[in-house]
Structures are given as structure tokens and as C-alpha cells.
Chain A
Amino acid sequence: MTLPGGVHAETYQQDRALIRTRWQWLWFAGFVAVLLLLPFIGIGKAVGIATVVGITLIAVLGLQLTSGCAGQINMGQSAFMGVGAYATGALAANLHWSFLLTIPIGGISAAVFGAVFGLAALRIKGFYLALTTIAAQFIFTFAMLKLPKEWFGQSEGLRLDPAALGSFAFDTDNRIYYLVLAAAALMTYGAWGLMRSRTGRAFIAVRDNDNAAEVIGINVFYYKTLAFFIGAFYAGIAGALWAYYVRYVQADQFTLWLSVWYLGMLIVGGMGSILGAIIGTVVIRLLQELITVVGPQVADVLPALGGQFVFAAMNMLLGGLIIVFVIFEPRGLVHRWNIVKESYRIWPFPH
């Protein structure tokens, strides 16, 4: 990876910097400003969409750490998210704890649940592991519908009061947007830092060749479990935010399909890259919104397609995208973006 022209690190601080040039600062400041001002400049459903993107992004980042970086296929991310949502929901609805406590607890409980299923990764690899996480999904749904009604409300689910700090309640779309934005920014920063740290490097080593990783002194058991723990923690935080956003938690919200959507976002964005997770989430979410808007109009013009056209088109889009990307561009959109960036930086030379 080439650095921008004229940038040479002279100190370790400079070498570690995430943002190196004045222009990058400018772009970054502009981006942050847009995110902060979105409720004032956004039109229509922009804020709502951005909130959902933020929550999804957190879950997908977790999946990126488990599957993309540490190479442990995880098809239970939405179950982990559900555990976080239920833990938060139960504490908030039954015990009325503050969201400052319930959201981290939601994250931790999802992380523990995820790590338990991740323990299977110590014995099995590859798609056998994928099967375990699928089982996690079914067991989660069953457990949530069967555990005592006083805890999780069974099929009625849980209803939450809005998150509140003293008399200030996050009860409007704009307020919850800022809460999600703050959480998403923090979690993204955390994931970015993690990938640059010793832990992130160990994840990559385990993914690329776990025998070799063991030989050079990486505790493979520990890092595989840790990958599940951290990935599920992200899912739990996302679930907790979801609980406060929708203010209703029910097992049907967390299906195997959601996990598959998350994996699809990773594939489209690019495996193993934090930026890839962001690109994938945003692109797929926007495509989904596009279909929700355009779909009914198409269905109006061609009534033969029927009312289910939106749902069907969504499936065909996601399935088609996954297949096309796996076959033609397994490294995802972020790889394309890197190629463009690279050729811009070294222009006019070809390489």
C-alpha cells in the first residue's frame, strides 16, 4: 500500500497515524459534519435509514472480526444480536435499569453466548463450524420462546421504555440517531484499532494458516474463542441499540436470514477489511431501501408479479450479488476502491 505523495513517517506517532494529510483531515471533518448535521439536512427517511445502517454496521463489524479477520465462519450473528437485545430488553423492561448499564450488559451476554458456541471452533473447522452456528440460531429462537414469561415475554416479546438520562429521553428519531451514531463511531474506531493491534494480527495469522500460527507461538484456541467473543459482543451491542430503537424485542426479529444478509454485506464489501464492512453495509442497505421504494411501483406496472415482489426481488438481489461477488470479485468492493486509490496515488506511473 503506497502512502499519499510526500508523506514520510519520521516518528512512530506519524507512522501509526490513521489520518496523515491535511486533505484527509478536511475530508474527515466534512464527513463527520455531514453525519452530525444529518437530522437537519436529511430529507424524508434519511435519519431512519441512517439509524438502521448504524445498528447494522455494528453487527457487521463484529461479523467481520469473527469471519473476515479470524476466518471462523459464523452464521449465527443475528442470534447473538438477539441475545444482546433480549438481555437489554429484560433488564430495561423488568428492572428499569439505565441504558448506560443495559447496553454493555447486552453486549457481554451476547459475547458469552457467542463464545460458548465458538468453543466448538476448538474442535471443528470450516463448514462444520458454520453448522454449529446455524444450530445456535435455532436453539436461540426455541429458548427465547420457551423461557419463563416473566423473563423474556415468550411469544409476546418485550416492550421497552425509551433510553433516558435523567429527564432527557432518547424518544425521537433524531435523538436515537445520535445515540446510535456515537455507538457506531466508537465501535468502528475500536474495530479499526483492534485490527492494527497484536490481537488483530493474531486473528489474521489464525485465519491464513492456523497450524503455522500455532507454531509461531500464537495461542490458537484462545484467539478463536476471543474472535467469537468480540464478534458476538459487537452483535450484542447492535441488538441492544435495536431494542432501544424499536422498543420492542421479539424472537422473530432475529432470523437465520438476517445472519445471511450480514454475511452477504461482508462479501459485497470485502472480507477482512473494516472499510469493507462499512462499504458493504451501506451499499446493501441502500439497495434494500431502493427496492422497497421502487418495488411496489414495479409491482403496480406489472401486477402479474404479485404483492410479494419486493420480498422476492430482495432475495434475488442478495443471492445474485453473493454469487456474482464470490465468483468474480471475492475480495469485494473495497478491493476495487483500493485499486482506484492506488492508481491515483502513483499516477502517472502504472505501478
Chain B
Amino acid sequence: MLSLLSYVANGALTGLLYALIAMSFVIIYRSARVFNFAQGEIVIVGAFLVWTFMSAFDLPVWVSVPLALLSSLLLGVLIERLILRPLVGEELFAFVMVTIGLLIFIRGVVLVAWGPEVRFFPAVLPMAAVKVGPLVFDRALVIGGAVTLVVAAAASWFFNRTQLGLEMTAVAEDHQIALSLGISVKRSIAVAWGISGLLSTLAAIIFLNGKGMTFLASDIGFAALPVALLAGLESIGGVVLGGLIVGIAVGLAAYFLDPIFHGGVAAVFPFVIMVIILLIRPTGLFGWKTIERI
């Protein structure tokens, strides 16, 4: 019983981490109607940036983390400017392919720049485990969960209360109408990519804190897909709930099914959830548009 509770609680925390990455998907999707398959790679670039500033350049935490956040923000803007903007108005397949191309390209660049060795990610956050009663948690995940909640609240506030955020929400609803209202769609998309890059690095810090990492850690980008889908691709607040649901479901699946399949269920179960969502309710819980179907 106790271990069941621990599976559920840890699942929920992991789900919140996925929610943070899912949020970076959603922010880009809202503005640009582009689904960025390369998100996981951007997370890894963010992680390596933190590693470079802290371990290779030996800068203190309070310099290197902001530096890494800033560079990943710039990276997001740069990708938008160089690769996505020439494609405005193209059909969907072009966007799917170009983000996939980007995924592979960044992976190559990461390999050349940082190599395939296992690097030890610096412990930005405290390492000691958190004990709540009999349950034991990874402290980074606990802090991460709190960060996710704060970021989600801030993002909701930003998109619903501020001038720029409301403009971006308008862009999310319809590019043409937003344009005719005098809103700069290009700027909104660029801002979205920047924010998304920043969130990716934040997620990387929480995910990899004090662990060994290689370029393969980027798979977390795919693992966050079901969360974004369950939430509905337009909903910022929804990803928190989506993350919790997926995380707990995966925790339960691991608890009940791992003995049957001898492990490995946690890796595949999010995708089973994804197929089920896609078949039953492709708009997710809080998505706006009914998906076009025929």
C-alpha cells in the first residue's frame, strides 16, 4: 500500500516535470500553429549550456543559470527567424518535416560540440531527498513541481492579463484576424519561441539536476507529447492537470503492470495513453478547436 502511494506521488511529480516541457510545446503551438518536434533537443542544448557555463567555465550558479536561460531564449528566437519564418503560409507537412529536420540537425551539432560522453550535470538544486512521513522524494522534482505550478500561473496571467500576452492569445485564435487588428504576428511567434526555449532550459535543470547526462536524454521531449495532447494543445493551465493525470496513470501502470511485463511499462505507457486520447478525444481536455475530420 505504501509503495503504491509512493508510485502515485512520484508519478505526479514526474508528470509535473513533463507538464513544464509540454508547456513549451503548447506556447509555440498556440502562436505559430507549429508542433515543434525538436523540443527535446532544445532541452538538451539548454542542459549542455548550463553544464558548459558551470562545469567548463567554472562560473557560479547565479551567473551561469541566467546566462544559460538567456542563451536558450536567443536560440529559440534564432530558430524561428532562420528556419520557421521562411515557411510562413506553407502547408502543414513542411512544418512537421522542418522541425524533424531540426531535431536531427541539433542532435548532430550537440554531438560535435559536446560529444557522446556521459557528463555529470551540476547540482543546481539541493540534492538531499525530501521525506514526507514515510514517502521519499527527489528534491529537484519537488522543487520542479512547485516551479511548474508557478510558471503555469505566471503564464496564465501573462496570456490573459498583459497587453503582449493578449495579443499572442489573439494570434493563437486566428492569424489573419490578429493581423487585421494591427497585431504583429511575427513578433508574437518570435516571443513564443523565446519563452519556449527558456522553459526548456528550466526543465532541463530540474530533470537532470545532479545526474549523468548524454545527448540521449532528449527523449523526454517525446515523453511529454501525451501531456500536451491530453491538455489540448492550446491550454496553458490544462498542461498541469494533464501532467498530473498522465504522471499518476503512468505511476499506477508501472505499479500494477511492471510485475507482469518485467519492467519497462513506464516508458511505453504514455504513448498508449496518447493513442487512446487521439482516438477518443483528439482535442484533449481543454483544446479549443474541434479537430478537422472528415
What would be 5 A-B contacts, judged by CB atoms less than 8 Å apart?
A: A126-B92, A260-B100, A319-B108, A323-B83, A326-B101
Contacting residue for A134 out of B106, B222, B291, B292, CB 8 A: B222
Whole-angstrom distance between the alpha carbons of A124 and B279 in the complex? 8
- A:286-326 near B, CB below 8 Å: 305-306, 308-309, 311-323, 326
Q: Which residues of B contact A157 (CB under 8 A)?
A: none
A211 proximal to B (CB < 8 A) = yes
Residue of A nearest to B272 (CB): A139
CB distance from A274 to the nearest CB of B (A): 18
Given A305-B112, A319-B102, A120 and B278 touching (CB < 8 A)?
Answer: yes
Whole-angstrom distance between the alpha carbons of A312 and B92 in the complex? 28
Q: Which residues of A contact B294 (CB under 8 A)?
A: 125, 210-211, 214, 220
Given A319-B102, A322-B97, A309 and B112 touching (CB < 8 A)?
Answer: yes
- In the complex the two chains form, is B275's CB within 8 Å of A132's CB? yes
CB distance from A151 to the nearest CB of B (A): 15
- A:96-146 near B, CB below 8 Å: 120, 122-128, 130-132, 134-135, 138-139, 141-142, 145-146
- In the complex the two chains form, is A312's CB within 8 Å of B112's CB? yes
Of B121-129, B238-246, B262-270, the one contacting chain A is B262-270
Q: Which residues of A contact B94 (CB under 8 A)?
A: 326, 330
Residue of A nearest to B94 (CB): A326
A263 proximal to B (CB < 8 A) = yes
CB distance from A259 to the nearest CB of B (A): 10
- In the complex the two chains form, is A315's CB within 8 Å of B111's CB? yes
Q: Which residues of B contact A73 (CB under 8 A)?
A: 93, 96
Given A124-B278, A131-B278, A139-B268, A326 and B97 touching (CB < 8 A)?
Answer: yes
Using a CB–CB distance below 8 Å, which chain A residues touch chain B?
67, 71, 73, 75, 120, 122-128, 130-132, 134-135, 138-139, 141-142, 145-146, 210-211, 214, 220, 257, 260, 263-264, 267, 271, 305-306, 308-309, 311-323, 326-327, 330
Q: Which residues of A contact B97 (CB under 8 A)?
A: 263, 267, 322, 326
Residue of A nearest to B268 (CB): A142
Residue of A nearest to B107 (CB): A315
Residue of B nearest to A132 (CB): B278
Whole-angstrom distance between the alpha carbons of A214 and B292 in the complex? 14
Q: Which residues of A contact B159 (CB under 8 A)?
A: none
- B:150-174 near A, CB below 8 Å: none
- In the complex the two chains form, is A312's CB within 8 Å of B111's CB? yes
Residue of A nearest to B109 (CB): A316
CB distance from B88 to the nearest CB of A (A): 11
Q: Which residues of A contact B261 (CB under 8 A)?
A: 146
- In the complex the two chains form, is B101's CB within 8 Å of A316's CB? no
Contacting residue for B86 out of A71, A131, A319, A327, CB 8 A: A327
Q: Which residues of A contact B271 (CB under 8 A)?
A: 134-135, 138-139
Residue among A67, A313, A320 with the highest chain B CB neighbour number at 10 A: A320
Whole-angstrom distance between the alpha carbons of A283 and B292 in the complex? 37
Whole-angstrom distance between the alpha carbons of A130 and B112 in the complex? 29
- B:268-293 near A, CB below 8 Å: 268, 271-272, 274-275, 278-279, 282, 291-293
- B:199-253 near A, CB below 8 Å: 222, 225, 229
- In the complex the two chains form, is A322's CB within 8 Å of B274's CB? no
Whole-angstrom distance between the alpha carbons of A322 and B83 in the complex? 11
- B:47-87 near A, CB below 8 Å: 83, 86-87
Residue of B nearest to A71 (CB): B93
- In the complex the two chains form, is B104's CB within 8 Å of A135's CB? no
Q: Which residues of A contact B291 (CB under 8 A)?
A: 123-125, 128
- In the complex the two chains form, is B100's CB within 8 Å of A306's CB? no
- In the complex the two chains form, is B292's CB within 8 Å of A319's CB? no
- In the complex the two chains form, is B292's CB within 8 Å of A125's CB? yes
Q: Which residues of A contact B120 (CB under 8 A)?
A: none
Whole-angstrom distance between the alpha carbons of A322 and B86 in the complex? 14
- In the complex the two chains form, is B115's CB within 8 Å of A125's CB? no
Q: Which residues of B contact A320 (CB under 8 A)?
A: 101, 105
- In the complex the two chains form, is A308's CB within 8 Å of B116's CB? yes
- In the complex the two chains form, is B92's CB within 8 Å of A326's CB? no
B103 proximal to A (CB < 8 A) = yes
- In the complex the two chains form, is A327's CB within 8 Å of B98's CB? yes
Q: Which residues of B contact A211 (CB under 8 A)?
A: 294
Q: Which residues of B contact A306 (CB under 8 A)?
A: 115-116
Whole-angstrom distance between the alpha carbons of A316 and B116 in the complex? 15
CB distance from A175 to the nearest CB of B (A): 35
Whole-angstrom distance between the alpha carbons of A308 and B105 in the complex? 15
Q: Which residues of B contact A131 (CB under 8 A)?
A: 225, 229, 274, 278
- In the complex the two chains form, is B268's CB within 8 Å of A322's CB? no
CB distance from A185 to the nearest CB of B (A): 29
Whole-angstrom distance between the alpha carbons of A220 and B294 in the complex? 8
Q: Which residues of A contact B137 (CB under 8 A)?
A: none
Contacting residue for A315 out of B95, B105, B279, B292, CB 8 A: B105
Q: Which residues of A contact B222 (CB under 8 A)?
A: 134, 138
CB distance from A57 to the nearest CB of B (A): 20
Q: Which residues of A contact B108 (CB under 8 A)?
A: 312-317, 319
Whole-angstrom distance between the alpha carbons of A324 and B101 in the complex? 9
Residue of A nearest to B229 (CB): A131
- In the complex the two chains form, is A263's CB within 8 Å of B100's CB? yes
Contacting residue for B274 out of A135, A145, A264, A321, CB 8 A: A135
Q: Which residues of B contact A330 (CB under 8 A)?
A: 90, 94
Q: Which residues of B contact A305 (CB under 8 A)?
A: 112
Whole-angstrom distance between the alpha carbons of A267 and B94 in the complex? 10
Q: Which residues of A contact B106 (CB under 8 A)?
A: 319
- In the complex the two chains form, is B282's CB within 8 Å of A319's CB? no
